[in-house]
Chains A and B, each alone.
Chain A
C-alpha cells in the first residue's frame, strides 16, 4: 500500500476534477484507477466499496470516501486550506458552493442536445459574467489582497481558478471585463504546486469531447 490517496473515476474531469485540483494544490501525490467499462463500476459496487453505489470514490487515510463535497471538505481541512476559524470557513464555503454551481453548468454543456446548446451557452455566459464573476472581482477589489479569504491561500482560490480556466475554454474572452480576476488567475497559476498541475503530463484532465460521451453513457447508464 502506497499511502497515497487513490482516486476511482472515469478518465475525465466530471465530479472528480475539483478533487484533483485540491490535492495537486496541496502538493499531495495521488494515484488514479480509471473506470473504462460498466463492469468496472459494477465490480466496485458489488464489493461494497461505494457507499451509495456511486463514484467519485477516494481511498484516503483508511477510508473509502464518497460524495465529492465530503471528500473536498476532508482534503481542504487536512491540508489547511479551509481558513483559520468558523467564519473564514463560512466565507470559503459560500464562495466554493457558488463556483460549484457554475462548474455544473460548464460541465453539462457537452451533454446538451444540439438544439439546446446555443441557449445553454448563452446561460453560461450570462451567469458567469453577471452573477458569479462580479462577486469575486468585488471581493478582491474590496480587500486588495492576493487571496479570496483571510489573506491566505485556500480552497476557495483553487476552485475559483479551476472555474475561471474552464470558463475561458468555453469563451476565451470571458474575463475581459474583470481585471482583478485576470491578475488573480495569473497569480494563482504561478503558485508552484498549481503551476506544476497546469503543465502537460500532469493529472489534470482535458475537457470532455462529444466523441467521448457515448463511452461515458455506457459506464453510467
Chain B
C-alpha cells in the first residue's frame, strides 16, 4: 500500500476533477483507477466498496470516501485550505458552493442534446458573466488581497481558478470585463503546485469529448 490517496472514476473530468485540482494544489500525489466498462463498475458495487453505489470514490487515510463535497471538505480540512476559523470557513463554503453551481452547468453540458447545446452555452456565459464572476471580481477589488479569503491560499481559490480556466475553454473572452480575475488567474497559475498541474503530463484531464460521453453512458446508463 502506497499511502497515497487513490481515486476511482472514469478517465475524464466529471465530478472528480475538483478533487484532482485540490490534491494537486495541496501538493499531494495520488493514484488513479479508471473505470472503463460496466462490468468493472458493477464489480465495485458487488464488492461493497461504493457506499451509495456511486463514484467518485477516494481511498484516503483508511477511509473509502464517496460524495464529492465530503471528499473535498476532508482534503481542504486536512491540508489547511479551509480558513482559520468558522467565519472564514463560512465564506469559503459560500464561494465554493456558488462556483460549484456554475461548474454543474459545464458538467452537464456534454450530455445535453445537440439542439440544446447553443442555448446551454449561452446560459453558461450569462451566469458566469452576470452572476458569478462579478462577485469574485468585487471581493478581490474590495480587499485588494491576493487570495479570496483571509489573505491566505484556500480551497476557494483553487475552485475559482479551475472554474475560470474551464469556462475560458468554452468562452475564450469571458474574462474581458474582469481585470481582477485576469490578474488572479495569472497569479494562481503561477503558484508552484498549480503551475505543475497545468503542465502536460499532469493528472489534469482534458475537456470531455464524444468518446468520454460515450464511455460514461456505457458504464452508468441502466
State A177–B103 Cα separation when bound (angstroms): 38
Q: Is A114 an interface residue (CB 8 A)?
A: no
Which 9 pairs between the two chains have the least Cβ-Cβ distance? Answer: A70-B93, A93-B70, A67-B97, A97-B67, A70-B94, A94-B70, A90-B74, A74-B90, A52-B98
Nearest chain B residue, comparing its CB with the CB of A92: B70
Total number of A residues with any Cβ neighbor in B under 8 Å: 26
Query: Closest approach, in angstroms, between the C-beta of A54 and any C-beta of chain B?
Result: 9
- A151: Cβ under 8 A from any B Cβ: no
Q: How many residues of B contact A (CB 8 A)?
A: 28
Tell me whether A33 is interfacial, beta carbon within 8 Å.
Answer: no
B89, A73: Cβ atoms closer than 8 Å: yes
For the complex, is A69 an interface residue (Cβ under 8 Å from B)?
A: yes
Q: Give Cα A179–Cα B56 distance, bound, in whole angstroms.
A: 30
Q: A interface vs B, CB < 8 Å?
A: 51-53, 61, 63, 65-67, 69-70, 73-74, 77-78, 86-87, 89-90, 93-94, 97-98, 101, 131-132, 135
A171 → B minimal CB distance (Å): 20
Q: Give how many A-B residue pairs fall within 8 Å (CB-CB).
A: 75
Which A residues touch B74, using CB under 8 A?
Answer: 86, 89-90, 93
Taken together as a complex, chains A and B put the C-alpha atoms of A65 and B135 apart, in Å, by 14
Report how far A87 CA is from B74 CA in the complex, Å.
8
Establish whether residues A69 and B69, one from each chain, have CB atoms under 8 Å apart when the complex forms.
Answer: yes
Q: Which of B51, B65, B89, B97 contacts A135 (CB 8 A)?
A: B51
